[in-house]
Structures are given as C-alpha cells and as structure tokens.
Amino acid sequence: GFRAPAALVPPLLDAARARTDLRPQALTFAGPLGLWLAALNPEWKFALRGSAGGSLVPDTSDPEAVRRLWEEGLFAERIALLDAVRVREPI
C-alpha cells in the first residue's frame, strides 16, 4: 500500500485528531511512523487505541477501554459510547 511522506505524517495526525471521519484512512496512510509519533505526542494518543478506526461503535464490555474512550475521545466518539452503553444497559 501507499504511505505518507514522513514530513506529512504530523499534519496528517493533526487532521485525524480534528476529524473523526478521516481517522481510518489517515492512520492507515500514516502507517507505523504515525503510530510511533503518536506515542510521543499526547495530542495524538487517539491513534494508539487499537485499530486504524473504522467503526465508531465501541466495545462496552471492557471497562478500561470505556473509561479511556470517555477521557480521550472526541465528542462524536463519546456520543457513540453513550449510545452503545444505552443499548447494552437500557434505563
């Protein structure tokens, strides 16, 4: 597959941080360098949560993952988390 030039990976991670809809493609394009850089910058820690993204439906069976997503996730991710928890544990 294709990889982003090294100089473009930081702006790519910034774009992915700001726009959840870009994350799956941006993280795939950033490749291993993107993950390495994400480990060095707290603003890019979203990239270290597992896969390159894809679905906004979180796994609510892991309390630690739920806590981490609630603390680190973007607004859209938190909304998806609340929806998933309500489906799993309706009021």
pLDDT digits (tens, 9 = 90+) for 32-70: 999 999 999 999 988 887 544 444 556 788 888 888 888
Q: Is a pLDDT exceeding 70 seen at residue 4?
A: yes
- Entry field: residues in the chain: 91
pLDDT of the residue at 13: 96
Q: Which residues of 45-61 are buried (b: 16+ CB within 10 A; e: fewer)?
A: ebbebeebbeebebebe
Domain boundaries, the chain: 1-47, 55-91
Instruction: Quickly list DSSP for 16-64.
Output: HHH-GGGHHHHHHHHHHHHHHHHHH-GGGGGGGSSSS-------TT-HH
Residue from 52, 80, 70 nearest 88 by CA: 80
